Structure 1
């Protein structure tokens, strides 16, 4: 049996092995040769995520000061091989294929074609991209952008771009008079940025990597560690080895949360020693059910505290923390006391016994970390899920002390850092006064477009241009059908990229592809070899030095491309030395330090500090930069984050990554942990739901949107896979199933597309 689109043999079978171990080795051995990386890749992997080394372009998990011998994971190695591929997409490649022909290629095949080598301009007469010089590209792009209203042009940034590039890009936007700066955070973790800021005054994790050495319980929500942040498994293994309890809430059974064989442990690799069991409890909440599960645990904590008070025993809640550091506790406590267990059980999808077992772990623990991912943030009421996580932690004072606090796991290597240095549509998050003083211009104060608003404007036809600093925006967004049609009508599209992707194949009236150096490659500028920097999930800043041979002599660095476009669009400003910055990135870092002295003091001197240097976090010291001046309890608006009611025949679709994928980059067709190989056109379904629908494993069905907006959205040809997933929930791959997500189905406050609970129906 083969997939109709890919031609791959389809194999569906349960995966019994652990995460890591020989499975990871085999996964790398299968994917890496397909990229034909050169001998330099081995040296890059040796240096990966180490001091003075190369920082991985994949996830944003912390880099320890004392790294392992191999400080990379399976997906990190795939990402490095993907960037260091020896295959090339030259101008000759584009002469062989029209854009219309390439549009029919699979995501995997497009990127497998290799690294882009030359600036390319779309020629509508031949329907092909044709080569151009950098001077031609910058001149034409500058002339077109100058003819646009800057407030109607989008400057998107992928989470891979360095701090230096991101700072220059954001400065260019504001000097041009706009701040339409959506980025990967808008797609994924904006709920964290808004929600944590509202609740505790800090928009990021309060913990650092070393806090995992001091906790005695970890609660995990909506995050797939084995796929999205595999190096975290080493940290979790160390925690389990010293007896830390790990309680996981996730709709699907994911192997990374179940068992891990350490590839650097000879005994586990030789199967002399059993794999480490990661989760001591595993609770399969239904999609969006985390609010109710957390409510149940909070209710139990409050009841236990009341019993302790009545009996004269030790308090269960941290009364001192609550009185000294929080507001609205009584309002939240009253809400918990009134909550009915029937509602909690129904909306969470868990039994009361399961919730009580988890609550007992929490009440025993002295220091608790809460780990979470997009299973929390990407819901209609994602903000309420996040607030409940904060409420849960605050009940026992688990914020602002060692070994305790919220720990969101970021998916992209520098998505958090980009926000730190100005990639934001919000004026209040930009150092407006410092920008004005340092660079002598008046920054805009009107709020710019985020991801959702950018899509609205593109669909409406009011957007006049889209510049994409990395990424695959068109493929990643909701409302695919409308977006694809509208994208072609954009007056100009500009893509800074290393490889070809789907966004490039729906050219606007004028379209350019500008190929850039990869982070793993040697970046020689006027002052010599350059380093770049990025920020991890723990707010630590690292330097990175690429040493690989560039894929082409024609490539420019991302800072050079941003400067080239900026100079072509903006009038000269003697206070902004674009050319000097391109020649010496340390000057960009000095400008960042001048704009953000509290976070980046002595930036250049600390660039290669082992383990990175910490930019600080007020909430970690129990300094609450909120409106009230204290940490704030919040009552949720709903008991389930999905934002729509259950109905006969309606399912909650959870969009997922496979093990052979990073965001929209598809490395292959082997989702090893889920036992699905050879295809991505599947829908994972509970056995009882299959029986009710009268479908069997292997049958093909369609999914259709069940949103209440009257729009038809259908994805056909999905193969049914029986899977351990809660009744009423379905699983399927992102980005293929993004077609089913309405643009307006997003988190209410943060505008993150709600891809973890999409209302759909199954059509046989």
Structure 2
């Protein structure tokens, strides 16, 4: 808090600009990466490598520097000169390393050799790849297939993902949760229900034609900075951005383009949001209902006077169902309830609705702030309702556009990593590979955690990621995690999850996507899918961090060969010799989407695998896009009560998911510690708190279970009343495992009921 004014601290600069370059330079100086500049110049470009940070689209016509601050940090982080060799583990027991911070663990550097956990010394010790594969295969053969989980983070390529999903199914289960289960699964479930598509309908070019963008619960300044370029371009040509977010994020307020010399010299930013509405956590349902209520009222008023209405009635009649039911629900919704649950004034919502009415083409953008709630699926349904009223889905410059996190999390689902067998062409897999795929539903992230607690999950194989650090109720889960018979972690760097192991455990080092991957047929390429359903080829050129690293596909094949029965229709070694053969398998499995796969993967801007809803073909039960009437006005699962707050978990400017690059949250004006609690000044006064007080947060979910995070420093911040903020993953112990979206089981991390307890 500013001692003179008593106002919450904030960052008075802009997203991008010199601040972004300074933040990047800090990481560069610390890591001393080899060949980083040459690698960065190839990032997100044709015949270069695709960034492992966010999943934002890759344009056909690239900038000289086609990367953002966080994307460059991710690349530099992996190209570090630091090495985490077997000698490191000889110097530190696993019990000792569990006391280290996440940042310090990853600062140990790149993993260089396969490692096996040795219980006698409580250390990871070096082993050969052959011994690792044989040991893992021996353990997997001894377990019942339903008790084993094959988790994937969103970084693995399409080729690796396809092989991983195939291995799991040949082994005998559909236990294939991925990072989508923890972030955007609500999109996959909620969008598919109402428009028949589990992904967004927009393509990158739509942002060149939209007249308005309604933006919910996503922070491009931290999580997808390359999105700021099309947002800036849109604003400059007259597009209006209406932002709904509890936190006033600089990335949606003002932007200085680092690739614009004039802006860099003058420091004069582009103001982005036409209106910025600080909606309460979970209040998006009510806010959007207010927008729809005003649109419907204007339509009724104009029609009553003999004028043309404002709805696209031809579109509604031909392409939608459920309109009358929804319109009736909007009519019955009271402005009193709308204002209370949204925390917004009627006048502001009506002004935002007028922007919607004045726009011919509207895009709805959202992130996890909209979806990570108990009723997050209904929030998605409400945003679709708003867009359907004026035909803003399935035409140029309009549509719905979720912003994904991991670089290939959407693509993994596309090629078979799913716990839902109905989403995978199992009959085709049976035909291609001569086996009977399991038909039983697999486990979601939440169900995996429940299974670890109950003892029904006996083994966990992890293709990347930091699963144990990312899940709810972390402390309770870590205690149960070590009862498993087997854990296998495939990774580039050490993280917290690797130290929470089963009785048998292996840590297998893999190549980074930016590194050269040479197999029997020569240098290999892989591919990824971006948020806009475009497939891009990726070729690593950097020298690998060590001679013993293997690619993710090669590691998967090694485990498969050691575990599965020999089958001439499953030549794992042959597939690894040439990844083009894996792409041929993907093409045969999904011919409509991946025809001429290898020939098209290096097209400028990638190739579009298609989206039925983009073409106004609705793969829903009704055969149309469905209006839905919400059953609640707030997406929160636990309502208000005296002394109860709702916690938003957030990422800092210096992190990507659970990877912490440093301790600067520049865009929020916060530096140093991550153990802080953001509270607005009015709530601080009501709770008799002062800036710098030490407090604890305790879960207030009414289930009688004690969950607490201690050692938090109170920090004044501009938030809605009754809302507090803290960093992810530090706040994860407060999230009950059962507190998740009702439809998708995505943890509800953006509205956790808590109380503040003085230290």
Q: Give your verdict on TM over 0.5.
A: yes
Q: What is residue 260 of structure 2 aligned with on the other side? A: 265
After superposing on structure 2, the runs of 4+ consecutive aligned residues of structure 1 that deviate more than 6 Å are: none
Aligned partner (choices 363, 380, 386) of residue 380 of structure 2: 386
Q: Does 1:670 align with 2:664?
A: yes
Structure-2 separation of matches of 1:662 and 1:638: 33
Aligned partner (choices 139, 149, 158) of residue 153 of structure 2: 158
- Contact 2:152–2:464 (8 Å) recurs in 1: yes
Structure-1 separation of matches of 2:455 and 2:701: 24
1:577, CA displacement in angstroms? 1.6
Q: Does 1:730 align with 2:741?
A: no
Q: Does 1:686 align with 2:683?
A: no
1:314, CA displacement in angstroms? 2.2
- Contact 2:9–2:716 (8 Å) recurs in 1: no
Q: What is residue 307 of structure 2 aligned with on the other side? A: 313
Q: Does 1:539 align with 2:538?
A: no
1:421, CA displacement in angstroms? 0.3
Structure-1 separation of matches of 2:107 and 2:270: 35
1:738, CA displacement in angstroms? 0.2
Q: What is residue 230 of structure 1 aligned with on the other side? A: 225
Note the 1:401-416 alignment, pairs <5 A: 401-416=395-410
Aligned partner (choices 16, 22, 25) of residue 29 of structure 1: 25
Q: Per-residue displacement from partner, 1:158-215 (whole Å, max 9, x unpaired)?
A: 0000000000000001111101001010000001001111100111111100000111
Structure-1 separation of matches of 2:40 and 2:424: 36
Paired positions, count: 751
Structure 2 counterpart SS, 1:736: coil
Structure-1 separation of matches of 2:406 and 2:532: 13
Q: What is residue 295 of structure 2 aligned with on the other side? A: 301
Structure-1 separation of matches of 2:171 and 2:474: 30
Q: Per-residue displacement from partner, 1:209-241 (whole Å, max 9, x unpaired)?
A: 000011110010000010010000001000011
Q: What is residue 59 of structure 1 aligned with on the other side? A: 54
Structure-2 separation of matches of 1:723 and 1:31: 27
Structure-2 separation of matches of 1:219 and 1:281: 10
Q: What is residue 5 of structure 1 aligned with on the other side? A: none
Structure 2 counterpart SS, 1:369: strand
Structure-2 separation of matches of 1:224 and 1:731: 14
1:394, CA displacement in angstroms? 0.2
Note the 1:512-591 alignment, pairs <5 A: 512-591=506-585
Q: What is residue 118 of structure 1 aligned with on the other side? A: 113
Structure-1 separation of matches of 2:658 and 2:583: 30
1:578, CA displacement in angstroms? 0.6
Structure-2 separation of matches of 1:760 and 1:227: 25
Aligned partner (choices 288, 292, 309) of residue 282 of structure 2: 288
Q: What is residue 704 of structure 1 aligned with on the other side? A: 698
Q: What is residue 459 of structure 1 aligned with on the other side? A: 453
Q: Does 1:423 align with 2:411?
A: no
Structure-2 separation of matches of 1:426 and 1:25: 43
- Contact 2:176–2:443 (8 Å) recurs in 1: yes
Aligned partner (choices 467, 488, 501) of residue 494 of structure 1: 488
Structure 1 counterpart SS, 2:598: coil
Q: Per-residue displacement from partner, 1:444-492 (whole Å, max 9, x unpaired)?
A: 1100001000000001122110000000000000011211001111100
Note the 1:126-525 alignment, pairs <5 A: 126-271=121-266, 274-525=268-519
Structure-2 separation of matches of 1:143 and 1:356: 64
- Pick which of 308-317 and 735-744 moved more: 308-317
- Contact 2:9–2:717 (8 Å) recurs in 1: no
Question: How much is the aligned-residue C-alpha RMSD, in angstroms?
Answer: 0.7
Q: Per-residue displacement from partner, 1:622-662 (whole Å, max 9, x unpaired)?
A: 10010110100111121010121100000000000000000
Structure-2 separation of matches of 1:147 and 1:202: 40
Structure-2 separation of matches of 1:275 and 1:493: 49
Structure-2 separation of matches of 1:63 and 1:719: 40
1:412, CA displacement in angstroms? 0.5
Aligned partner (choices 597, 609, 612) of residue 606 of structure 2: 612
Q: What is residue 8 of structure 1 aligned with on the other side? A: none
1:13, CA displacement in angstroms? 4.5
1:339, CA displacement in angstroms? 0.6
The TM-score, its normalising length taken from structure 1, stands at: 0.98
Structure 2 counterpart SS, 1:496: strand
Aligned partner (choices 90, 95, 99) of residue 95 of structure 1: 90
Structure 2 counterpart SS, 1:270: helix
Structure-1 separation of matches of 2:492 and 2:631: 43
Structure-2 separation of matches of 1:625 and 1:690: 49
1:413, CA displacement in angstroms? 0.1
Structure-1 separation of matches of 2:446 and 2:277: 32
Structure-1 separation of matches of 2:640 and 2:633: 13
Q: What is residue 16 of structure 2 aligned with on the other side? A: 20
Aligned partner (choices 633, 651, 671) of residue 645 of structure 2: 651
1:559, CA displacement in angstroms? 0.2
Structure-1 separation of matches of 2:195 and 2:523: 41
Q: What is residue 4 of structure 2 aligned with on the other side? A: none
Q: Per-residue displacement from partner, 1:684-734 (whole Å, max 9, x unpaired)?
A: 001100000001111111000001211000101101110010000001000
Aligned partner (choices 70, 79, 83) of residue 74 of structure 2: 79
1:611, CA displacement in angstroms? 0.3
Structure-2 separation of matches of 1:633 and 1:444: 35
Structure-2 separation of matches of 1:659 and 1:613: 31
Q: Per-residue displacement from partner, 1:66-105 (whole Å, max 9, x unpaired)?
A: 0111010000010000111110000101000010111111
Structure-1 separation of matches of 2:375 and 2:44: 36
Structure 2 counterpart SS, 1:308: helix
- Contact 2:47–2:602 (8 Å) recurs in 1: yes
Q: Per-residue displacement from partner, 1:30-76 (whole Å, max 9, x unpaired)?
A: 112212201x1111100101111110000000000001110100000
Note the 1:625-640 alignment, pairs <5 A: 625-640=619-634
Q: What is residue 9 of structure 1 aligned with on the other side? A: none
Structure-2 separation of matches of 1:148 and 1:313: 70
The runs of 5 or more residues in structure 2 that have no matched partner are 1-7
Structure 1 counterpart SS, 2:190: helix
Q: Per-residue displacement from partner, 1:551-584 (whole Å, max 9, x unpaired)?
A: 0100010000000001111101111121111110
1:107, CA displacement in angstroms? 0.4
1:312, CA displacement in angstroms? 1.8
Structure 2 counterpart SS, 1:494: strand
Structure-2 separation of matches of 1:719 and 1:156: 35
The runs of 5 or more residues in structure 1 that have no matched partner are 1-11
1:16, CA displacement in angstroms? 0.5
Structure-1 separation of matches of 2:20 and 2:745: 35
Structure-1 separation of matches of 2:520 and 2:277: 56
Structure 2 counterpart SS, 1:759: strand
